[in-house]
Amino acid sequence: MPLHRIYHPLSAFSTSDKQKISERITALYTDVGLPAFYVVVLFTPVESESFFVSGKPTDKFVRVVVQHLARQIPSEEGKKQFSEKYENVLAPFVKEKGYDWEVHVEEVPPDMWRENGLIPPIKFPEIEKEWARQNKPIPY
Amino acid sequence: MPLHRIYHPLSAFSTSDKQKISERITALYTDVGLPAFYVVVLFTPVESESFFVSGKPTDKFVRVVVQHLARQIPSEEGKKQFSEKYENVLAPFVKEKGYDWEVHVEEVPPDMWRENGLIPPIKFPEIEKEWARQNKPIPY
Amino acid sequence: MPLHRIYHPLSAFSTSDKQKISERITALYTDVGLPAFYVVVLFTPVESESFFVSGKPTDKFVRVVVQHLARQIPSEEGKKQFSEKYENVLAPFVKEKGYDWEVHVEEVPPDMWRENGLIPPIKFPEIEKEWARQNKPIPY
């Protein structure tokens, strides 16, 4: 569901950093009851000669594009809170290492979203809980 | 128009698989009269140490992001049918090879969409047919 | 803010081309007063065996996905003008070199957009001007 595409300089993250970032991102969603397997994090290393900020090549910038499907956050306040939590997730690996960074989160309507070909049980909380418990999509 | 970004483990697809998948995806659109050249399919191999599901590195997951521009599918039923057809396209290369996978389709307003600098003839069915026949954008 | 993802054949752009394209893209936004650092351009080289148009591998196609956050262009006419300017930016590097190409621009709501953890001052023109002058995000 949430898809996190993280574009980063070649040397920005160690294997261990990527592991920790993805665990922390995943926890943002499992903490509110969503299945862990919904959370996909893709790290894309980008060479400085292909990564431009202000029209200049950079090896000091991290750009994160997040897409939400399972939930649309209804209130402005809720959106703000999510962004704050997300910033806390990234901070030790980005801000505290001297990178500049930018994040945005998109909310995509879930009508044409499938997990292993199944319609995710957005409208069926009990089934969603079972998917979360077993951490996999189960026909229903 | 439809842009298909397929993020996959390094060894998921052979050259021939990619060829077949993209042909089958293209047919979904040409079958309803759209020009073949509208259909762009990008395969992005992702190393397992950069591809996380459930906060764990994976080499068993395929994530597909589809964007539609030329058509917004108006009804819930139509969207469901599209998703089913799409699943059938992927199945032999993903499900039947033991991968887990996730797909979502976004509908993007076409106002700022251009093909070779031309406004695609969404509102001009006869011109669109000509683009389809010649399989290229033609000034009109 | 504006994120430009440019998928291109391996040999499409030299380092100097990428530099010039990103400078020209950046100018589209600084010309209307936006901070230069808002503009991120990512070039993604794609091998022909992973880049399909019309269901066929290609090394002659450039696909550009643009996302806008800081501004939604309100009128149809304004959107048309933006697309025209964008085409002019790309033309010397794409059209005039014999590539086919496709561009679309998405307008993403800015609610969950952050620059270095800060809410961009969309609603505070004076602060935005200061960000532009200093070309960096400044707490306010």
What CA–CA distances, in Å, run from B72 to A80, B57, C93?
30, 35, 32
Query: In chain A, where does DSSP find H-type helix?
Result: 15-30, 76-90, 125-134
For position B59, what pLDDT does the model report?
98
The answer to whether A15 faces chain B, any CB pair under 8 Å, is: yes
Cα–Cα distance, B113 to B5 (Å, whole number):
17
Query: Is the torsion defined by CA of A74, A113, C53, B133 positive or negative?
Result: negative
Cα–Cα distance, B134 to B140 (Å, whole number):
14
Which chains border C (3 or more CB–CB pairs < 8 Å)? A, B
**Chain B contact set for A67 (CB, 8 A):** 65, 104
For the domain C2-134, what is the CATH code? 3.30.429.10
Structure tokens at B23: 């042909």
List chain A domain ranges.
2-134
For position C26, what pLDDT does the model report?
98
Q: How far is C128 from chain B (nearest CA, A)?
A: 25
Residues 6+ apart with CB under 8 A from C45: A50, C8, C9, C10, C12
Q: pLDDT under 50 in chain B at which residues?
A: none
Cα–Cα distance, A72 to B117 (Å, whole number):
35
Q: How far is C62 from chain A (nearest CA, A)?
A: 15
Structure tokens at C135: 């070309």
Whether A1 shows a pLDDT value over 90: the answer reads no
ipTM of the prediction: 0.97
Report whether C37 contacts C136 (CB < 8 A).
yes
Q: Which chain A residue lies closest to C136 (C-alpha atoms)? A: A100
Q: How far is C50 from chain A (nearest CA, A)?
A: 16
Q: Is A66 helix (H, G, I), strand (E, B) or coil?
A: strand
The answer to whether A113 faces chain C, any CB pair under 8 Å, is: no
Cα–Cα distance, B20 to A139 (Å, whole number):
28
In the chain, the amino acid numbered C65 is V
For position A101, what pLDDT does the model report?
98
Q: What is the average per-residue pLDDT within A32-49?
A: 98
Whether C1 shows a pLDDT value over 80: the answer reads no
Structure tokens at B20: 């077949």
For position A66, what pLDDT does the model report?
98
Q: Residue A59 gets which letter from DSSP?
A: S
Its pTM stands at 0.98
For position B24, what pLDDT does the model report?
98
The residue among B41, B56, B54 whose CA lies nearest residue B7 is: B41
Cα–Cα distance, B99 to B109 (Å, whole number):
32
Residues A16-27: pLDDT tens digits? 999 999 999 999
For position B94, what pLDDT does the model report?
98
